[in-house]
C-alpha cells in the first residue's frame, strides 16, 4: 500500500484528481463493484469554509445522482470520511442509495461521524480498522454557521429553565446564550430526537442488523442515538466497540490486506487532493464522475493527464 508521503510524490507528475481517480478505478477493478467516495476536508488544516462545504447537506444529492449514473447497481462500495451534517438530508441520501443499489458495503478509512455513521449503518456491511471511528448519530441542526447536536440544545434549554426558575436574575445571561435559537425550535427538536431513535432502529433492521435479535438492535440504537451516552458528539466508536458493544455487522478490514490497501490508498489520495487544491468535499466514482465543493473564486481543479495503468 502506498503511504501518504509516497502518494504525495506521485502528484509531482500528475494532478491530484487524476491520482484520486487512479486508485478509485483500481479498487473497482479489483472488486468488480461500483465505488463511490464521499469525503470532506474536515480533518485538514486549511482556511475555514462555511459548514455546508464540509458537512452533509441536501446539495450532496446532486453528487450521488451524478456518481450513480451509468454504474453497476448490484454492489456498491461506499467510502465515507465525513463529520456528518443535516439529519434530514442524510436520510434522503440513504433512501436514494437503498433504492439504487441492492447491496452496500461501507468503508471507514478514518472518521465517519454523526450523519456519516448513519450512512454506515445503512450499509449491509461496515469495514473498519484500528484507525477507524464511528460516532453518535443523534441528529444535528444548523444554528448560525455550524451544526449543533439536537440533544445539546435541549439540554441547554432544560438547564436554563431550571436555573432561571431558581434564580430569576440569571435570565439576562441565559437570554444572551440562547438568543440564536428560534422560538418554537426546541419543541420540534424534542420530536426529532424521539423520531430519530425509531428511524435508526428501523434502519438497522433493514440492512446492517437484519439478522440480529431485536434486543441487540434496540441496544445499539439507544447507545448510538443518545446524546447523554457520549461526552462529545465527536467521540469515537472503535472497531472493537462497534463489534462487541454495539454488535453491528462490522468486519475488520485487516483480514483482507489487498482490500485494505485499496481503500487506504483512495483515502490518502483524497486527503492529498484537499491539501493541494481548493476542494473541501468530493463525491467521486470509478467512472471518473465527480461532484466537488470548493471555495469560490479560487481556481478550478484541473484533471490533467491520467497516470499510467498498473
Residues 6+ positions from 285 with CB-CB distance below 8 Å: 24, 34, 35, 36, 37, 67, 68, 71
Give the residue with greater pLDDT, 297 vs 99.
99
Contact at 8 Å (CB) between 197 and 221? Answer: yes
Q: Residue ranges per domain, the chain?
A: 4-137+208-294
pLDDT per position as a tens digit, 245-266: 999 999 999 999 999 999 999 9
What is the pTM assigned to this prediction?
0.83
**What is the Cα–Cα distance from 215 to 225, expressed in whole angstroms?**
15
Decide if pLDDT at 297 tops 70.
no
Predicted pLDDT of residue 289: 97
**What is the Cα–Cα distance from 19 to 17, expressed in whole angstroms?**
5
What count of Cα atoms within 13 Å lies in the side-chain half-sphere of residue 178? Answer: 22
High-pLDDT (> 90) share of the chain, %:
62
pLDDT per position as a tens digit, 169-213: 777 777 776 766 666 677 777 777 778 899 999 999 999 999 999
Predicted pLDDT of residue 99: 98
pLDDT per position as a tens digit, 3-49: 777 777 777 667 999 999 999 999 999 999 999 999 999 999 888 88
Residue 110 in 3-state DSSP? coil
- Domain formed by 4-137+208-294, architecture: Alpha-Beta Complex (3.90)
Instruction: Estimate the share of the chain in helix, then strand, then coil, as percent rounded to the nearest 5.
Output: 45, 15, 35
pLDDT per position as a tens digit, 136-168: 988 777 777 777 777 777 777 777 777 777 888
Amino acid at each position: 500500500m502506498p503511504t501518504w508521503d509516497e502518494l504525495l510524490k506521485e502528484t509531482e507528475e500528475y494532478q491530484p484528481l487524476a491520482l484520486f481517480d487512479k486508485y478509485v478505478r483500481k479498487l473497482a477493478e479489483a472488486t468488480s463493484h461500483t465505488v463511490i467516495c464521499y469525503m470532506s476536508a474536515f480533518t485538514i488544516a486549511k482556511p475555514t469554509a462555511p459548514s455546508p462545504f464540509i458537512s452533509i447537506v441536501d446539495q450532496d444529492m446532486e453528487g450521488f445522482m451524478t456518481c450513480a449514473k451509468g454504474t453497476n447497481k448490484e454492489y456498491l462500495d461506499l467510502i465515507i470520511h465525513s463529520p456528518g451534517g443535516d439529519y434530514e438530508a442524510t436520510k434522503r441520501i440513504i433512501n436514494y442509495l437503498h433504492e439504487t443499489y441492492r447491496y452496500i458495503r461501507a468503508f471507514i478509512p478514518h472518521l465517519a461521524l454523526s450523519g456519516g455513521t448513519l450512512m454506515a449503518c445503512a450499509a449491509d456491511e461496515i469495514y473498519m480498522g484500528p484507525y477507524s471511528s464511528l460516532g453518535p448519530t443523534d441528529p444535528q441542526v444548523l444554528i448560525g454557521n455550524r451544526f449543533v447536536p439536537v440533544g445539546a440544545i435541549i439540554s441547554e434549554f432544560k438547564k436554563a429553565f431550571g436555573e432561571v426558575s431558581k434564580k430569576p436574575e440569571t435570565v439576562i445571561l441565559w437570554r444572551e446564550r440562547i438568543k440564536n435559537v428560534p422560538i418554537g425550535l426546541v419543541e420540534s427538536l424534542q420530536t426529532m430526537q424521539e423520531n430519530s431513535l425509531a428511524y435508526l432502529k428501523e434502519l438497522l433492521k433493514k440492512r446492517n442488523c437484519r439478522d440480529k435479535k431485536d434486543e441487540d438492535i434496540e441496544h445499539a440504537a439507544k447507545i448510538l442515538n443518545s446524546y447523554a451516552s457520549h461526552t462529545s458528539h465527536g467521540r469515537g466508536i472503535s472497531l472493537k466497540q462497534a463489534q462487541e458493544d454495539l454488535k453491528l455487522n462490522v468486519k475488520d478490514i485487516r483480514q483482507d490486506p489487498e482490500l485494505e490497501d485499496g481503500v487506504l490508498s483512495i483515502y490518502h489520495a483524497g486527503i492529498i487532493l484537499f491539501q493541494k487544491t481548493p476542494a473541501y468535499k468530493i463525491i467521486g466514482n470509478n467512472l471518473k464522475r465527480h461532484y466537488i465543493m470548493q471555495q469560490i473564486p479560487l481556481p478550478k481543479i484541473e484533471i490533467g493527464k491520467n497516470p499510467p495503468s498498473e
